Amino acid sequence: MWLQEIADMAFGPLVDMLSNVVAWLSSVSLVAARGIDVARYMGYIAWLGPAWLAVVRDALLAVVLVTIVGVARTAWSVYLQAKQGVKWW
């Protein structure tokens, strides 16, 4: 029993901190799940109508997609260069 008390005393604050982090991250995910309202941030574009809003939204989505692909290609290039430098085979 004394070993369990020592472990609880040592790891209790860490477990409490991790529980608080999980609770905070759960509340953050609810806000991010709503998406981006283009009309809220770009007032002049909102005047153009729903069709133009769709065009702007799709253009922003394309920019995000190209950025993600670029980051993935860069990470793959770094991996290949590290692999070449280390000579794993």
Task: State the pLDDT at residue 33.
Answer: 58
Extract the tokens encoding 15: 């477990």
Choose between 26 and 31: higher pLDDT. Answer: 26
> Domain extents for the chain?
1-35, 37-89
Q: Grade residue 69 by pLDDT with cuts at 50, 70 and 90.
A: very high
Mean pLDDT, the chain, integer: 82
Whether the pLDDT of residue 6 is over 60: the answer is yes
Question: pTM for this one?
Answer: 0.49
Whether the pLDDT of residue 30 is over 60: the answer is no
Task: State the pLDDT at residue 11.
Answer: 85
Task: State the pLDDT at residue 84.
Answer: 86
Is 60:75 a contact under the CB 8 Å cutoff? no
Extract the tokens encoding 1: 């029993």
Mean predicted confidence (pLDDT) in 46-62: 85
Task: State the pLDDT at residue 62.
Answer: 96
